[in-house]
């Protein structure tokens, strides 16, 4: 037989495009359309429904950037259509771009009842099937004219459209046709048949019989279609395809669990307020689709998004609640938002689960067993313990498939965290969290699945996401045809819980991956938008303080514990940890609002702290120092207050031979040369120099930074190939007990204050940068005379080790990584730490010198200047605080990290001291939270963890609370019935902790 394969395939493509798809709507009639627009914030639905409208015709521009228009759409179903299926096709001016990144709409009935959302792949509204003829139709459409930031087809191009203040007022869209149309279900099903078979055929081996069997059936179907009467011949064409569609899949076929999904970024290329509407549009679509498709199941994560629905669109929320009760709309993941997991601190990461799971329990009576994070930019090694402590035991993500250097070896595996906790983890091999159920995607999932031979199933999150939209009727139809189809993986709609249960049952002993799940991409998200990151860190620290002092004051003085305020503030901080806000990858509008929000929250938290401390000290003139850190310092106990002992004094600078200054407190001698660089940091106790010979610390380095794509997200390895040391000094002087260094470069200026405390072995560096660079990367370098093959960086409830060498591609790929409060390097007997109060990104490298010694260089990442999606990223003034701690152990690094982030407060009052509410007698056991129980029963909740990486025993005491009735709990403060109760001795609780183990204790009042 002659090979006519390409001829038939090309014929299929043209006939579908030009004849069959257009025949889905064989008859149409125009609708009348009127419009009312507002350039400001969206108005309430009730206001939009009655707003005065004016006629608008197809082809008319509409919609200023970020504006809202209300369309009034009316018409009459022609009488001759009686007995037929009819729907409206409503084109707001959609472009071929994917849904979620352009104009969108939510259709309402005249009384305000939401019907469904509109986007370019889902622009229909059902009228009836069948209709009687003569029906009047009337809808009101709330349409968002959100600008498409890549409308010109060029990705990552700087644009002013990311903020209403700079976007201008030019109309963004041109109104398309709005028509009533007959819906020919037979033709629509023929389209689905041909698309599924055509897509499947393209994935099958050319030399395989199944491909040719499908090709011949498709050829017969095309022969059966009268191109001048597609509607009249569609049934016959479908008959030619029935046989190949009915052939069952092989018994060994890969099994795909499809989960309806719309991964909606809580902010990204749109502001938070627009996400509220995206969620309403998508939820309306999905509840409508659930009513139409009995097998369909939809999952939505992010409790915040449900809370938005409850607050802003209660009528949509009511439909969601009913679908949840029916088991078909699944609250997934149990987190407040799909947060970044690298940068949130220990308590914040825990509270993501606390607030998310509690919302789902209280609203729906549902507790998710999985963490659902398909799009998060890598996963910190402390996360498994947090997932387990929250009552979950599984994780789903897809993002690691984006890694650019190494191919992750598993799709289903057990992930082990720093404390030894393991969670069952799945990476969907479809390699997308926006699966469209195409033949190519499903075939890729089957081919790509790395567990062949030991496991058979994977999950496919199916639907348009990022900007929302969800699953479409076409995706459901394609899944139905692939439920049992030879040549394809089998597809079945299932809940995440059902998938995980089956996956675990067939693969009870999967391989284990130990340590962080590092994404070899998007490394610059650890640095971009420095003010957002500072706001997050400060918010976390102030919340820790507010809970500590408010609980102490409530227990001691009857101070009103601010449950409502803390709950609201925590949720706001957690929202801003979403994986496009905290990482700095959102538009300017998002970060402008974030800065204002963080400032407002800080003011509220400062007021709570001040009120609690005032209640504790009373009126008087004594000056006390409150120490919120988990370690005693300067004679002040952790979590208490005592008289100030002068620990804040600084060693006085003295002139240095050859220029510069010396800072010496008898413990540490710092030499600062005439360039303002630290050329010596001598540990007098150890008799050891910290700075590598011939090199200088406190060295600012500036690199070009123009990644190949994803400007705000990425820093590519080649940035290190060029750069310069900023050694020119514009001023060197003494100011307030510190050495003041001033530099100028490009259009920017830097002022640094270097000081050594009178009684601590630490160099403090306070850096203020007035930053006006573009596409540059600023680093702060510390070349240390340490032979370290690995280094420690703090993560949630502990620290993670990374190699300093690059023996393998896995190690090379980690050229930029995350730390929280410290990075620590050491060799046997001596180490050093670099601590910070607001930065996350860093790199650590090693070189061997000519003298045979090894230099290990720690560099903190300070600032970037990408131009997309915010062309003014980080322009302006920033402040950073770092400290170099020579001679530091890991324990010293932990202590100094908390000191930098939880500074003491001086308060005047009548009390002689404030005893800590909670004490722990081992510095290796760190208290991360002291608070009153969320159920408002008055119990005390204390969370501690082992911070040094070894086993630790400690006795915990709580003043005014009954340790005899203390119980171990999960993160939601529910008794942990599987845990051994802590031993008791001398009125305290004896804790025996594994390395990095975290425990939560609940203690009732005495």
- What's the DSSP call for residue 66? T
The residues with which 779 forms a beta bridge, in sequence order, are: 701, 861
Distance CA(9)–CA(14), nearest Å, equals 9
DSSP structure string for 923-944: TTEEEEEEEE-TTSS--EEEEE
Q: Reply yes or no on whether 580 is catalytic.
A: no
Cβ atoms < 10 Å from Cβ of 388: 18
Look-up: residue for tokens 């889902």? 122
Q: How far is CA 663 from the centre of its chain?
A: 43
b (16+ CB within 10 A) / e for 634-648: bebbbbbbbebeeee
The residues with which 316 forms a beta bridge, in sequence order, are: none
Distance CA(432)–CA(437), nearest Å, equals 11
Closest CA to 947 of 930, 923, 924, 927: 924
Residue of 184, 265, 375, 870 with catalytic role? 375
Closest CA to 907 of 648, 612, 485: 612
Distance CA(943)–CA(757), nearest Å, equals 31
**Residue 247 near residue 448 (C-beta atoms within 8 A):** no
DSSP structure string for 114-163: EEEEEBTTB-EEEEESS--S--EEEEEEEEEE---TTTTS-TT---GGGS
Distance CA(18)–CA(6), nearest Å, equals 18
Cβ contacts of residue 405 below 8 Å, gap of 6+? 520, 809, 810, 812, 813
C-alpha distances out from residue 935 to 513, 567, 918, Å: 37, 12, 20
3-class secondary-structure state, position 740: strand
Q: H/E/C letters for each residue in 570-616?
A: HHHHHHCCECCCCCCCCCHHHHHHHHHHHHHHHHHHHHHHHHHHHHH
Six token digits for residue 557: 């003085």
**Residue 204 near residue 214 (C-beta atoms within 8 A):** yes
C-alpha distances out from residue 175 to 59, 66, 70, 116, 868, Å: 5, 16, 13, 19, 29
Active site residues: 375
């Amino acid at each position: 037989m002659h090979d006519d394969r390409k001829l038939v395939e090309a014929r299929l493509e043209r006939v579908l495009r030009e004849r069959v798809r257009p025949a889905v709507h064989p008859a149409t009639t125009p609708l009348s359309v009127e419009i009312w627009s507002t350039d400001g914030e969206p108005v309430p639905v009730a206001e939009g429904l009655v707003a005065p409208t004016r006629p608008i015709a197809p082809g008319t521009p509409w919609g200023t950037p970020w504006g809202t228009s209300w369309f009034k759409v009316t018409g009459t179903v022609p009488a001759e259509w009686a007995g037929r299926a009819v729907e409206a096709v409503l084109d707001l001016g959609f472009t071929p771009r994917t849904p979620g990144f352009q104009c969108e709409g939510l259709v309402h009935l005249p009384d305000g009842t939401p019907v469904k959302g509109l986007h370019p792949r889902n622009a229909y509204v059902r009228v009836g099937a069948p209709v009687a003829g003569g029906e009047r139709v009337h809808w009101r459409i709330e349409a968002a004219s959100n600008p498409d930031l890549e409308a010109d087809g060029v990705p990552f191009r700087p644009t002013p459209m990311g903020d209403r203040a700079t976007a201008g007022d030019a109309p963004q869209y041109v109104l398309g046709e709005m028509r009533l149309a007959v819906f020919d279900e037979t033709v629509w099903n023929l389209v689905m048949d041909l698309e599924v078979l055509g897509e499947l055929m393209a994935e099958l081996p050319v030399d395989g019989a199944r491909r040719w069997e499908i090709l011949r059936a498709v050829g017969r179907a095309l022969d059966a279609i009268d191109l001048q009467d597609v509607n009249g011949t569609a049934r016959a064409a479908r008959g030619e395809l029935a046989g190949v569609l009915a052939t069952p899949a092989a018994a060994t076929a890969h099994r795909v669990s499809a989960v309806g999904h719309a991964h909606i970024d809580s902010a990204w290329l749109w502001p938070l307020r627009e996400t509220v509407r995206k969620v309403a549009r998508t939820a309306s679509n999905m509840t409508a689709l659930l009513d139409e498709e009995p097998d369909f199941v939809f999952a939505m994560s992010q409790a915040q998004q449900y809370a938005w629905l409850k607050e802003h669109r209660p009528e949509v929320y009511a439909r969601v609640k009913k679908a949840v009760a029916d088991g078909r709309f699944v609250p997934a993941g149990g987190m407040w938002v799909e947060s970044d997991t690298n940068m949130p601190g220990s308590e914040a990461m825990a509270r993501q689960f606390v607030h998310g799971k509690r919302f789902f329990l209280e609203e729906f009576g549902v507790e998710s067993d999985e963490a659902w994070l398909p799009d998060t930019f890598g996963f910190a090694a402390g996360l498994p313990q947090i997932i387990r402590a929250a009552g979950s035991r599984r994780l789903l993500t897809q993002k690691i498939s984006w890694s650019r250097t190494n191919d992750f070896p598993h799709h289903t595996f057990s992930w082990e965290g720093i404390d030894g906790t393991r969670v069952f983890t799945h990476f969907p091999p479809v390699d997308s969290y926006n699966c469209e159920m195409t033949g190519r995607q499903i075939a890729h999932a089957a081919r790509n699945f790395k567990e062949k031979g030991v496991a058979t199933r994977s999950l496919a999150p199916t639907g348009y996401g990022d900007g929302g939209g969800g699953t479409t009727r076409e995706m459901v139809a394609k899944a139905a045809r692939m439920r049992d189809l030879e040549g394809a993986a089998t597809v079945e709609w299932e809940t995440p819980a059902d998938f995980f249960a089956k996956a675990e049952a067939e693969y009870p002993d999967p391989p284990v991956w130990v340590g962080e799940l590092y994404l070899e991409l998007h490394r610059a998200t650890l640095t971009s938008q420095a003010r957002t990151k500072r706001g997050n860190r400060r918010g976390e620290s102030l919340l820790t303080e507010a809970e500590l002092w408010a609980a102490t004051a409530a227990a001691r003085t009857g101070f009103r514990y601010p449950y409502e305020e803390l709950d609201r503030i925590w949720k706001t901080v957690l929202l801003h940890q979403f994986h496009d806000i905290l990482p700095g990858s959102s538009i300017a509008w998002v970060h402008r609002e974030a800065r204002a929000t963080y400032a407002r929250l800080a003011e509220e938290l400062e007021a709570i702290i001040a009120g609690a401390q005032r209640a504790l000290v009373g009126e008087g003139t004594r000056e006390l120092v409150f120490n919120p850190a988990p370690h005693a310092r300067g004679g002040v106990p952790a979590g208490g207050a005592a008289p100030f002992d002068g620990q804040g004094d600084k060693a006085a600078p003295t002139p240095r031979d050859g220029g510069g200054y010396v800072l010496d407190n008898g413990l540490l001698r710092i030499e600062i040369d005439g360039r303002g660089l630290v050329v010596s940091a001598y540990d007098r106790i150890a008799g050891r120099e910290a700075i590598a010979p011939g090199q200088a610390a406190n060295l600012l380095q500036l690199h070009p930074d123009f990644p190949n794509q994803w400007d705000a997200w990425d820093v590519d390895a080649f940035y290190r190939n060029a750069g310069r040391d900023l050694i020119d000094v514009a001023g060197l002087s003494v100011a307030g007990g510190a050495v003041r260094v001033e530099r100028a470069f490009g259009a920017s200026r830097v002022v640094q204050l270097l000081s050594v405390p009178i009684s601590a072995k630490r160099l403090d560096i306070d850096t203020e940068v007035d930053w006006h660079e573009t596409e540059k990367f600023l680093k702060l370098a510390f070349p240390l005379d340490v032979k370290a093959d690995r280094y420690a960086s703090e993560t949630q409830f502990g620290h993670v080790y990374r190699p300093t060498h690059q023996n393998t591609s896995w190690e090379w790929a980690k050229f930029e990584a995350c730390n929280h409060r410290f990075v620590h390097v050491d060799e046997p007997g001596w180490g050093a730490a670099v601590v910070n109060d607001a930065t996350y990104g860093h790199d650590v490298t090693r070189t061997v010198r000519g003298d045979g010694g090894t230099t290990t260089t720690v560099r903190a990442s300070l600032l970037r200047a990408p131009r997309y999606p915010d062309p003014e990223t980080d322009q302006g003034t920033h402040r950073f605080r770092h400290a170099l701690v020579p001679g530091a152990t890991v324990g010293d690094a932990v202590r100094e990290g908390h000191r930098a982030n939880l500074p003491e407060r001086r308060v005047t009052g009548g009390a002689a001291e404030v005893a800590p509410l909670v004490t722990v007698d081992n510095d290796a056991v760190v208290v991360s939270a002291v608070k009153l129980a969320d159920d408002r029963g008055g119990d005390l909740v204390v969370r501690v963890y082992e911070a040094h990486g070894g086993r630790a025993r400690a006795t915990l005491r709580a003043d005014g609370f009954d340790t005899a009735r203390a119980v171990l709990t999960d993160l939601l403060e529910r008794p942990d019935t599987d845990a051994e109760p802590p031993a008791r001795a001398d009125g305290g609780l004896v804790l025996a902790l594994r390395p990095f183990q975290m425990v939560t204790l609940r203690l009732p009042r005495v």
